[in-house]
């Protein structure tokens, strides 16, 4: 059973090792992108986590050396008025990558059992039912020609506060900090409990959760790259496809 309290938040990496590993792993991702394209297999990556846990920076490093024509990143926020007229999963179905491409969700359909649950935008009946709906959604995709992996990036209260304060004073990051972030911080424990239930009910072999300590941003980025590569290699191997990486 995966739980937030079991996440190691103390892990770190030296700047030298980070740069060395980052380039190597990014080039592996480029090779993977080409194999996915050539074999018409889609890759879906979903990122969730506490506010200021480093999701955006991690996605940036994950995609830095990829061909921009072969991936798309979807920043997910509250549904627009017209989207509320559909089933809540509709806006995610319409954003799925084509076979052979990579789709990355910066927050995802799991909002139904996180923010919508805690802020009471969804009734108890709705968010309780959502676990099965989500499992079926992910199973439908991975039974066809998609590979899926889900990440939870976590920071502790102290590190989150430090990042909030840094954003307040940084003109290039101040846009990231909203009143909603401060409100969510007051419900840190509620989000932790909801996330733990989410892992317990939606962590599947075909679409597993990977929980990563994000107090050290560089370490978290390396782990996300490694876990993505490992999962894709496993799924490609299951399809009889092997990867040969070129060392530069």
pLDDT in tens, 154-172: 999 999 999 999 998 999 8
Q: Is 83 part of a structural domain of the chain?
A: yes
Contact 107, 51 (CB under 8 A): no
**Short-list 55, 23, 65, 7, CA closest to 217:** 55
For 26, counting Cβ atoms within 10 Å of its Cβ (0-12 exposed, 13-18 middle, 19+ buried), the class is middle
Q: Is 97 part of a structural domain of the chain?
A: yes
Angle CA(164)–CA(168)–CA(173) in degrees, nearest 5? Answer: 90
> What 3-state DSSP class applies to 213?
strand
Q: Is 87 part of a structural domain of the chain?
A: yes
Does residue 45 surpass a pLDDT of 90? yes
pTM of the model: 0.96
Q: Is 20 part of a structural domain of the chain?
A: yes
Q: How many CB atoms lie within 10 A of CB 98?
A: 12
The residues, ordered by sequence, that sit 6+ positions from 16 with a Cβ below 8 Å of its Cβ are: none
Q: Is 243 part of a structural domain of the chain?
A: no
> Which pLDDT tens digit goes with each residue over 128-152?
999 999 999 999 999 999 999 999 9
> Whole-angstrom Cα distance, residue 224 to residue 232?
12
**Short-list 243, 201, 10, 8, CA closest to 117:** 201
Q: Is 14 part of a structural domain of the chain?
A: yes
> Which pLDDT tens digit goes with each residue over 203-240?
999 999 999 999 999 999 999 999 999 999 999 999 99
> Which pLDDT tens digit goes with each residue over 175-202?
888 888 898 899 999 999 999 999 999 9
Q: Is 248 part of a structural domain of the chain?
A: no
Task: Tell me the C-alpha to C-alpha distance, in Å, between residue 169 and each of 108, 145, 173, 236.
Answer: 29, 45, 8, 45
Q: Is 131 part of a structural domain of the chain?
A: yes
Angle CA(231)–CA(232)–CA(236) in degrees, nearest 5? Answer: 120
> What 3-state DSSP class applies to 3?
coil
Total domains in the chain come to: 1
Q: What is the CATH number of the domain that holds 66?
A: 3.40.50.300
Residue 151: domain span: 4-234
């Amino acid at each position: 059973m995966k739980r937030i309290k079991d996440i190691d938040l103390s892990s770190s990496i030296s700047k030298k090792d980070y740069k060395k590993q980052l380039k190597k792993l990014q080039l592996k991702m480029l090779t993977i992108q080409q194999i996915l394209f050539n074999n018409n297999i889609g890759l879906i990556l979903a990122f969730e986590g506490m506010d200021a846990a480093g999701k955006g920076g991690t996605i940036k490093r994950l995609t830095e050396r990829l061909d921009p024509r072969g991936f798309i990143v979807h920043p997910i926020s509250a549904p627009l008025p017209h989207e509320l007229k559909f089933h809540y999963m509709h806006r995610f179905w319409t954003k799925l990558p084509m076979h052979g491409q990579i789709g990355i969700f910066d927050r995802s359909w799991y909002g139904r059992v996180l923010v919508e649950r805690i802020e009471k935008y969804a009734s108890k009946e709705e968010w309780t039912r959502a676990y099965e709906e989500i499992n079926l959604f992910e199973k439908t995709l991975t039974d066809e020609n998609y590979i899926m992996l889900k990440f939870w990036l976590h920071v502790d209260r102290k590190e989150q506060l430090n990042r909030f304060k840094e954003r307040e004073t940084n003109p290039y990051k101040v846009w990231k900090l909203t009143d909603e972030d401060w409100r969510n911080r007051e419900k840190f424990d509620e989000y932790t409990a909801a996330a733990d239930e989410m892992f317990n009910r939606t962590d599947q072999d075909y679409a597993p959760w990977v929980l990563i300590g994000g107090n050290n941003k560089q370490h978290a980025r390396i782990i996300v790259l490694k876990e993505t590569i490992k999962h894709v290699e496993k799924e490609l191997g299951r399809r009889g496809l092997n990867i040969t990486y070129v060392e530069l």
